[in-house]
Structure 1
């Protein structure tokens, strides 16, 4: 067993060196100021954690104990507090969490410039942590809204396998779900993972159907991933990035295969700190300090070695210490991280303003005040000031600044360079609808395309369809099902189809409800014209017969069978023909009540006349028998009373029907799906069937009496013709009932009109046509002698 070797920093990070320089610039500016902390100089100690959590915690413990090594020249008077008053750093979230956990019980303020994990906002765990960069809670939500803005609902996700990546992606996933965005895959890795783990991620990307990848990575992990993906030339994916890598020039320089071309993402808003660039590029103070840091920095900057410090490795050239810095183009001279340098700058100034308030500085400061980290922390939380560039600096209750991001687009330029173009802004201080604001600038997408990429699991469902989820798949994967008849959807990606109102129906495309066609038996259609013509023909025919009878009213055949009842029968038949017209046309309240009652009363009047005629024939035969006195009891007055009595009963039934539950116009939506049938509802079905039943009862009585009188020995026995007419009448109305019940819509009305006309024509033809035949064509038979002549009865 061997004792593990101590941690060693193997190389100089220019990025970390720049952050340190930004802190030094702020401290020097404050120490030279006469307004802020006059007469007080800030001291500092810089530690290199070398990207190690263990080393970070070790430094934090040393600071908390006050055991850090301090080198102060003896000739320099210095009054130093027992403990460090604040820490500026760390750069990443995980080291910050470790340090903040250690420093929490001591309430030593820690202000980070680049640690964005939302978990660090938890003041119960990290009471002394503050930062000058927004929390990833806002960035993650902003990324989700950005993805939604471009219509990408099917995306992949890659994250750091650390607190920064896991927490940031958790918030993104939660927000994406709320916005209807689905993740096809979500994978994590760390830069120290074996290559087969990263290769596995590349295989997942290649097998995916989504074309957008959300990468919540640091610039170091992104560099490792790009190196692996470059082996597969995966350039057909649109990348969406977090601030950890989206505006990092080193990452852009590594992308030799243009995998990230057209990437968009969020970055800290551009900033400018006057004098900082010049300070960083001025290395004279560093070279005059005789510090070993200068030697290491100079050798890394110019890739050389000073004489006497050569290692066994081959060095191309020897350092002179007078190399020209003006022509150097590398990460040290790159000032693209100026927004982060500004965060360091603001963090130092936050501490200075807090100390200024504690020491009650005006023109001078009270040096007798004993400083302690807890008091410093309380004052830092409450500071609110503006930097010389006009930036407001303050912290909310979670120790976070206001969240504002620029939206960056990677636009490739000549010589394989990339320009970070600002295409919009995300500002959480605005209302929800105004937070995301994209400028009217042309965006370059993957493969240098001008067209916005499409990344959906299923295409949008057009109007007229609805979404049906695919079993076992995310909600973004669905099928588009056409709306059923009578339902519509007039928006894209509708979840449900809306049923049309009863008076409307869906059009062919199922996108709008159109008014249903109203259907009723009208005078304009062929069936209505034919029935109207038949009704008028029957009316005219009846009138012609009445005219013939009136003209020959004194002849034997007219006088033989009670001419008064004959004329009343012709009048009632005329009404029967005409009442059929009330069934044609659009139903109204009056027409509905009139058609059934008029039909019922006129037919009862008609059958009452026939019943009277039949009874007269029977009574006349009985009167010829010896000792019979029947005709005395059934004279003209009794016949009129009989007809009137039978008719009044029907009138009474109709009055009861109309007063209790009369027929009314009704819109029938159920018979046909796409049409409205305008019809007359019966109101009381009992009233309707009572009217028909009473007509049927009288018809049966009339048929029975006529049947009994059919063989009486008259030369012209009218009972036979009444029997035939009642047979036709009963046959028509018996067949009417099933036909009426089964006929849909306006056809039921047509069936009822047909039954009225058929039975009316049957009565007219059977009873009056034989008489008209004799009157017009056989006048020699129209004599009293011929009417009174006896002959043997014929079988029916």
Structure 2
């Protein structure tokens, strides 16, 4: 059984089920000829029983106009008359199937099992149409069975580009892939990052939306919502649409890849949510073609941008169409129905009464679909001309005819016409904007997208958006992050919020926080790290000023003490304190009051080494002689209790030698540690980090060694001061020394703790300075000031006390004690 017989059997089966061919499929607008071109047009927009639309009548007459033009030419199909047989598809795939079967088989519906591909004069050799993709999928199966080429003027689904499935399908419009590219170029040009897509649940919508999603992803555009809906959505489906629109309301750009009925339903759903003006509407060609042509009077939302094929109105067609008389119109049964309805509604007769008007002239609507219809008819004519010239037979075989169709090339008003390898043409798309111009709705052309040019998208004028301005609205789910914050993903698809970076971090590529180095800090824009300029402790700081004042006062006091000791050097009290040891001790006082100046000075390798050495040596100079003093007191009284013999190593020379040795040990420690591990300026960082660095001297290993040695001296002083606590009141210098040593020990321990735990250089420096100053002041206050005070103001009492003490000496032992210790009293009192 041949394919044509199989199709005939299918036709009979369908006819048996439905009992008869629908009347709408039998109604035809035909003209006889040697070769017939079939035509499938949506002469009714929705319902086959409705009144035909003027727009669809224009399409049918465009085919008739082109056939007449071809028949009038002597250079194209000479001696051949081309006819046509136009049927109604009613935008319904079932009726399109019936109409296409009627075309390829003939109106009588009779079945025959002959070889239909052989053709004969008067037989349909090709089909122009249908307009929609869903109808084309149905019709192309019939065309393939009967080897009948078809050229659609409006079916754009990418599915139809599959030549293995649809070998006899061609089209004079580009596929949806190009329309999707035009829409994505528009989205990218406007800077929109977040969009939604609602598409019709058929091959046109599904394929178009899929291409749009794929291209958008490649451009970095996020699709928040991709929702299929039926051509005529139900109430429950529209409720679902409302829910989805609310969920994806941040995606303000809403692309409608569907026809007018679907688009109107979605717009109505948005209007119910009071969000019609919230969305930025982008309409595909299917929606654009239906605007104003369904008789509903509905207009799309203002600001809507439509992407529709750029096919200029062919010259001469309007004159032809508007000049049709009643006789010509009545040849078209659908035009006759339209005219009768016009006369009935207006209660007048066209061409008879002046006030009745000429409907096909008054209601004429320029349309981009006319040129593809005319191109399809011309393509058939040129291919048939080529086939007949290359063959000795007037028989048209489908496969041969298809071969000539694919190779056809001719010049038209818009340029050279030819099919590409997919059986389609390259595309140009107009960008039209829904606007209110002087109170009337208009589709204003604002730009052009041309696939053949390097810069495909071009704008000729500004788009007027829903708010009436030409300022491009935004569509993004990305918060504008303030300086110092990075973009952070949110729970919603493709949505991003802001997360603050740490104050010491820069923002890289808006998505990453990168911490600066310890010695760097972000610039004002938080885009790069810049070095922090280190600072030192300022002399004008209140704490620094306090330290300097105390140091100056201490220096003055130390000078006074030194002067006093020198002035009263022959006084018994001064002699009793060991002038040599006191001189060393006062030298330590002077160095202690000088050390803060070095500690506060700007840190350099020299000042750091000097400040560390001064702190270490001032304590050694202070406590090495103090240790010998208190040790001597203890040994003298201890020896006196046992015998009258004088203790060894208490002479001034020996004492001074021992002090020098003790000081030498510290000097050696300072020199060695400074050579091996010199004190250096170092940058002090902060936790938590701050945009500042402080330069200070690090007292490290060398300072610890020196401090340990000084601590040993101080502890030894504490021990001997404790052991000598029971000496007579007349010899109470040991008690003053003990008070000084105990206080200094606590102060030094506190200072060292603060130094190594503090994170502020000023605190570190101040802790050391205060420890040094406290030690010096305590020594001055506890040891030297009382002596000088007694010498200056209690001199007579000291003298009488000394005489009484000598008179009362009655034995050698007491004489020894008097000789050895009376000179050590600071506040001597009368004997009892």
User: What's the TM-score once normalised by structure 2's chain length?
Assistant: 0.74
Q: CA deviation at 1:630?
A: 6.1
Alignment partner, residue 426 of structure 1: 449
Contact 2:119–2:397 under 8 Å retained in 1: no
Contact 1:84–1:373 under 8 Å retained in 2: no
Aligned: 1:113 with 2:153: yes
Contact 2:330–2:336 under 8 Å retained in 1: no
1:303 to 334, 341, 346: 341
Q: Secondary structure of 1:125's partner?
A: coil
Pair 1:541–1:229, CA change in 2 (3 A): closer
Q: CA deviation at 1:113?
A: 1.9
Alignment partner, residue 573 of structure 1: 589
2:429 to 405, 409, 426: 405
775-784 vs 48-57, which deviates more? 775-784
Whole-Å Cα distance in 2 between the matches of residues 597 and 369 of structure 1?
120
Q: CA RMSD in A?
A: 5.2
Pair 1:564–1:303, CA change in 2 (3 A): same
Alignment partner, residue 756 of structure 1: 772
215-224 vs 86-95, which deviates more? 215-224
Q: How does 1:588-737 map to 2 (within 5 A)?
A: 588-615=604-631, 631=648, 638-655=654-671, 657-659=673-675, 661-680=677-696, 682=698, 684=700, 686-709=701-724, 718-737=733-752
Contact 1:490–1:511 under 8 Å retained in 2: yes
Q: CA deviation at 1:600?
A: 1.8
559-568 vs 448-457, which deviates more? 448-457
Q: Secondary structure of 2:553's partner?
A: helix
1:730-750 residue CA offsets vs partner (Å, 9 max, x unmatched): 121233344445544122332
Whole-Å Cα distance in 2 between the matches of residues 320 and 560 of structure 1?
146
Contact 1:158–1:213 under 8 Å retained in 2: yes
Q: CA deviation at 1:93?
A: 0.6
Alignment partner, residue 567 of structure 2: 551
Alignment partner, residue 374 of structure 2: 345
Q: How does 1:769-784 map to 2 (within 5 A)?
A: 769-780=785-796
Pair 1:135–1:656, CA change in 2 (3 A): farther
Pair 1:540–1:126, CA change in 2 (3 A): farther
Whole-Å Cα distance in 2 between the matches of residues 566 and 523 of structure 1?
33
Contact 1:143–1:266 under 8 Å retained in 2: yes
Aligned: 1:164 with 2:204: yes
Alignment partner, residue 524 of structure 1: 540
Whole-Å Cα distance in 2 between the matches of residues 538 and 233 of structure 1?
83
Whole-Å Cα distance in 2 between the matches of residues 351 and 670 of structure 1?
84
Alignment partner, residue 768 of structure 1: 784
Aligned: 1:294 with 2:332: yes
Whole-Å Cα distance in 2 between the matches of residues 20 and 342 of structure 1?
12
Whole-Å Cα distance in 1 between the matches of residues 188 and 258 of structure 2?
20
Contact 1:587–1:678 under 8 Å retained in 2: no
1:628-669 residue CA offsets vs partner (Å, 9 max, x unmatched): 6865x6766654553344334334444554455554444444
Whole-Å Cα distance in 2 between the matches of residues 105 and 795 of structure 1?
139
Whole-Å Cα distance in 1 between the matches of residues 274 and 652 of structure 2?
116
Pair 1:354–1:464, CA change in 2 (3 A): farther
Whole-Å Cα distance in 2 between the matches of residues 384 and 668 of structure 1?
82
Contact 1:100–1:126 under 8 Å retained in 2: yes
Q: CA deviation at 1:534?
A: 1.0
Whole-Å Cα distance in 2 between the matches of residues 703 and 120 of structure 1?
105
Contact 1:593–1:658 under 8 Å retained in 2: yes
1:177-220 residue CA offsets vs partner (Å, 9 max, x unmatched): 775555568351224x66x4677579769978847654322245
Q: Secondary structure of 2:413's partner?
A: coil
1:281-322 residue CA offsets vs partner (Å, 9 max, x unmatched): 4436x947xx974354234235379xxxxxxxx998797888
Alignment partner, residue 441 of structure 1: 462
Aligned: 1:255 with 2:279: no
Pair 1:662–1:147, CA change in 2 (3 A): same
1:691-747 residue CA offsets vs partner (Å, 9 max, x unmatched): 322211111123334444566679666544433322222121233344445544122
Whole-Å Cα distance in 1 between the matches of residues 443 and 434 of structure 2?
5
548-557 vs 142-151, which deviates more? 142-151
Pair 1:98–1:567, CA change in 2 (3 A): same
Whole-Å Cα distance in 2 between the matches of residues 274 and 712 of structure 1?
133
422-431 vs 143-152, which deviates more? 143-152
Pair 1:668–1:587, CA change in 2 (3 A): same
2:169 to 129, 132, 156: 129
Q: CA deviation at 1:84?
A: 6.9
Q: CA deviation at 1:421?
A: 0.6
Pair 1:481–1:230, CA change in 2 (3 A): closer
Alignment partner, residue 288 of structure 2: 246
Alignment partner, residue 7 of structure 1: 22
Q: Secondary structure of 2:332's partner?
A: helix
Alignment partner, residue 75 of structure 1: none
**Unaligned residue ranges in structure 2 (runs of 5+):** 1-15, 25-48, 111-117, 804-817
Q: Secondary structure of 2:199's partner?
A: strand
Contact 1:138–1:403 under 8 Å retained in 2: yes
Q: CA deviation at 1:751?
A: 1.9
Whole-Å Cα distance in 2 between the matches of residues 318 and 326 of structure 1?
6
Equivalent residue pairs, number: 759
Pair 1:225–1:652, CA change in 2 (3 A): closer
Whole-Å Cα distance in 1 between the matches of residues 653 and 663 of structure 2?
15
Whole-Å Cα distance in 1 between the matches of residues 163 and 79 of structure 2?
34
Whole-Å Cα distance in 2 between the matches of residues 548 and 507 of structure 1?
60
Whole-Å Cα distance in 2 between the matches of residues 342 and 241 of structure 1?
21
1:15-36 residue CA offsets vs partner (Å, 9 max, x unmatched): 4443343344445555655666
**Unaligned residue ranges in structure 1 (runs of 5+):** 71-77, 306-313
Pair 1:398–1:756, CA change in 2 (3 A): farther
Q: CA deviation at 1:769?
A: 1.6
Whole-Å Cα distance in 2 between the matches of residues 225 and 292 of structure 1?
39
Contact 1:277–1:335 under 8 Å retained in 2: no
Aligned: 1:268 with 2:315: no
Whole-Å Cα distance in 2 between the matches of residues 326 and 460 of structure 1?
61
Q: Secondary structure of 2:539's partner?
A: coil
Q: Secondary structure of 1:254's partner?
A: coil
Q: CA deviation at 1:526?
A: 0.7
1:217 to 253, 258, 268: 258
Q: Secondary structure of 2:692's partner?
A: strand
